[in-house]
Structure 1
Amino acid sequence: MSRKKIALIGGGQIGGILALIATQKELGDVVIVDIPEVEGMVKGKALDITEAAPHDGYDTKLQGTSDYSEIAGADVVIITAGVPRKPGMTRDDLLEINLKIITHVANNVKEYAPNAFVIVVSNPLDAIVYAFHKVSGFPKNRVVGMAGALDTARFRAFIAMETGLSVQDVSCIVMGGHGPTMVPLTRLASVGGVPLSELLSKDKIDAIIKRVQEAGTELVKLYGKGSAFFSPAAAIMEMAEGFLKDKKRVIPSAALCEGEYGINGYFIGVPAVIGAGGVEKILELELSVEEQDKMNSTLQAVKKTVGEAGL
């Protein structure tokens, strides 16, 4: 059986870590694509990871290139290409620049990897994944945005930090857009089956929610240059592995809704089943009136960003 092929569009911080994780897990051979000006850098990362193989024992093949034809036949395409956030920059500030980049990327993916499952990561996510879908013409099950997986992981991490309990036992979900209008469903959060409300006060839970909503900005400020890369890479590979191994994972993802949660024609964070068919199903939770109101608010924010992109 031939090996799977993973194309990473963008060889920056996230792209490099993705290449390492995919290689160590032997999920497939990896091609890292970036602009000609930094081709040496992505070739270097591919070679560097290859030279680590004797230590970890993987036989994955890697290459770095600026030639999109090298992604031909890719099973998964992960797009991190774009300008990263800098201190004082909002996701909306990134829109004009990253919209041009995603248009170029979408046309090349459409030409060279027309059957791939595509995970979009570039910000502002809700508009960029919409733009990729529109430009590429890919079916909705083969285009998804990575946002909710990361936001949910951050929610889990902060709950574990506050309670002092194992993150493995924390269960929760974040829906909605990727940004301050995201919707953490606190009533469903639990640790080892114990409702979060029985472990923490409302004030502490509210503080956790606020931190989750501002987590990206917190890291931008701490790093001083660029934004998060370790945690996004882990979230992305969880999604890619769900597809490549047909795991039927339920992962909060920016999927195209067509009636689910009263949303039509927009990508927004929802519980999605990811398997060999891509986004195989969107699970509909029974939301409270307050939660549905928050979903409606985040939808308006997504519509605004998409509208500003002229899509």
Structure 2
Amino acid sequence: MSRLSSVGIIGTGNVGVAAAYSLFQQQTTGRIILVDRDRRRAEGEAMDLMHGQSLVGRVSVLAGDFPDLSECGVIVITAGVSQKPGESRLELLNRNTAVFREIAAHLDHHAPDAVLVIATNPVDILTYVMQHLSRRPPERVIGTGTMLDTSRFRAALGDYYGVNPRSVHAYIMGEHGDSEVPVWSTARVGGLSIHQQTINGRDFDAQAMQRLFQGVKNAAYDIIARKGYTNTAIGLVISHLISVILEDQKSVLPVSVNPAGTYGLADVCLSIPCIVGREGIEAQVAPLINEEELKGMHDSADVLKHSLQGMQLN
């Protein structure tokens, strides 16, 4: 196994376990290390996965601690604290910041070269927090951002036009949340603009598209109302992002980053399509968006900056 080819997952809740299962089943890496405050839970999850090796192949899964992450090329953070009754959003964010401060210190010491993938919600806020707390370059701290929203968007458009979602190229950008921005202006199916051409017998219908987007935006709420949490699709998202990094694919993905001036935005983290490879974010690939979409990006940034006010980052 080459150096830094292992993957660490910090947090073995529903999302962390879904990510581990996806990595295991797809054999994205030969070694997965699970870290959790509840060591016995991490051990149980590792044992459970290892029993599937005869069906999947040789993938080592073990429970460990921060020193064991030193050989990891990518480390996923799904850990976080839940909101207490009567607790404000700001109080919750500050408690999660305290958790991330401890994690950042351990990772900077034991795994300074790893790319960090942030999956804990609110992902944009906590990506920004980790970029400030960690000593590693910001391009090596990536939030999953709107990768899941974009996957939902493409799946819905694929269903509408009767095509494989892999033939749909469309993005959700901005916040992973209520202010997310559907980029209609560059949406294409098989290279055809959904605005300008009839595709598989269907024309662009603004009202239908708005209903479609509302379904995408509310998907998490709908799932949580039924099963209590979301985990399987985000697990697949995390696994895909990790494979892109480990294989140095240089794929373009809508991940949460600091725009650093793109679209006139800065000092916040939100989703913009980026080239992702072994070193993390290699470049931002900002689509040419229309005025309404640009306004949506600025509104989304304002929402996130408002959430950051009063947070204890120092």
Normalised by the length of structure 1, the TM-score is 0.91
Pick from 194, 208, 211 the counterpart of residue 212 of structure 2.
Answer: 208
The residue identity in structure 1 corresponding to 2:248 is D
Do residues 71 (structure 1) and 82 (structure 2) align?
no
For residues 159 and 276 of structure 1, do their structure 2 counterparts lie closer, same or farther at Cα, with a shift above 3 Å needed?
Answer: same
Distance 1:102 1:310 in 2: 12
> Are the structure 2 counterparts of residues 223 and 91 from structure 1 closer, same or farther at C-alpha, using a change threshold of 3 Å?
farther
Contact map agreement 2:94 2:312 (CA 8 A) in 1: no
Query: 2:99, 2:291 → 1: CA distance?
Result: 39
Aligned equivalents of 1:220, 1:141: Cα separation in 2:
32
Structure 1 equivalent of residue 14 of structure 2: 13
Q: State the partner residue of 1:144.
A: 142
Q: How many residues align?
A: 305
| C-alpha contact (below 8 Å) 1:98/1:122 kept by paired residues | no
What is the match of residue 168 of structure 1? 166
The equivalent of 1:129 in structure 2 is: 127
Q: Which of 218, 221, 231 does residue 222 from structure 2 map onto?
A: 218
1:24 has 2:22 as partner? no
2:19/2:234 contact within 8 Å kept? no
Residue 232 of structure 2 aligns with an amino acid whose one-letter code is: F
Q: Which moved more, 1:121-130 or 1:185-194?
A: 185-194
| 2:207 counterpart letter in structure 1 | D
Structure 2 counterpart SS, 1:187: coil
Alpha-carbon distance, 1:153 to partner? 0.3
- Inter-partner Cα distance in structure 1 for 2:233 and 2:310: 28
Could you tell me whether the CA contact under 8 Å between 1:98 and 1:123 is conserved in 2?
no
Secondary structure at the aligned position of 2:289 is classed as: coil
Q: What are the residue-to-residue correspondences of 1:93-132 with 2, within 5 Å?
A: 94-132=92-130
Separation in 2 of the partners of 1:94 and 1:232?
22
Between 293-302 and 102-111, report the one with greater CA deviation: 102-111
Following the alignment from structure 1 to structure 2, what is the Cα–Cα distance between the partners of residues 208 and 144?
A: 28
Q: Distance in 2 between the 1:181 and 1:291 partners?
A: 11
1:92, distance to aligned residue in structure 2 (A): 6.7
Q: 1:84 to 1:209 in 2, by over 3 A?
A: farther
1:188 corresponds to which residue?
Answer: 186
Matches of 1:275 and 1:82, distance apart in 2: 26
Residue 75 of structure 2 aligns to a residue whose secondary structure is strand
Question: 1:90 offset after TM fit, Å?
Answer: 10
- Whether the aligned pair in 1 keeps the contact of 2:171 and 2:183 (CA below 8 Å) is yes
Q: Structure 1: 5+ residue runs without aligned partners?
A: none
State the alpha-carbon separation in 2 of the partners of residues 90 and 144 from structure 1.
26
Report deviation, 1:191.
2.5
Counterpart amino acid of residue 233 in structure 1: G
**Contact kept? 1:185, 1:291, Cα under 8 Å:** yes
Deviation at 1:136, TM superposition (A): 1.0
Preserved contact between residue 92 and residue 124 of structure 1 (Cα < 8 Å):
no
Q: Distance in 1 between matches of 2:94 and 2:72?
A: 28
SS in 1 for 2:79: coil
Percent of pairs with identical residues: 26
User: Could you say which residue in structure 2 is the equivalent of 1:40?
Assistant: 40
Residue 93 of structure 1 and its aligned partner are, at CA, apart by 7.7
Contact 1:176/1:183 (<8 A) preserved: yes
SS in 2 for 1:265: coil
Structure 2 CA distance for aligned equivalents of residues 147 and 16 of structure 1:
19
1:268 aligns with 2:270: yes
Aligned equivalents of 2:83 and 2:22: distance in 1?
23
Deviation track 1:113-172 (CA, whole Å, cap 9, x = no partner) reads 111000101111111111111111220110110121111001112222333432222221
Over 3 Å counting, the alpha-carbon distance change for 1:232 and 1:193 in structure 2 is same
By how many angstroms is 1:83 displaced? 3.5
Alpha-carbon spacing, 1:5–1:251, altered in 2? closer, same or farther (3 Å): same
Query: 1:213–1:94: structure 2 CA closer, same or farther, 3 Å change rule?
Result: farther
Give the match's secondary structure for 2:24.
helix
Offset at residue 249 of structure 1 (A): 0.5
In the superposition, relative to structure 1, how do residues 159 and 93 fare at CA in structure 2: closer, same or farther (>3 Å)? farther
Distance 1:287 1:92, change over 3 A: farther
3-state SS of paired residue (1:104): helix
Residue 214 of structure 1, CA deviation: 1.9
TM-score under structure 2 length normalisation: 0.90
Inter-partner Cα distance in structure 2 for 1:144 and 1:240? 11
In the other structure, the counterpart of 1:278 is 280
Residue 53 of structure 1, CA deviation:
0.3
Change in CA separation of 1:243 and 1:90 when aligned onto 2, cut-off 3 Å = farther
Unaligned 5+ segments in structure 2 are none
Residues 150 and 232 in structure 1, CA contact (< 8 A), matched pair in contact too: yes
Q: Does 1:247 align with 2:249?
A: yes
In the TM superposition, residue 85 of structure 1 has moved relative to its aligned partner by 7.8
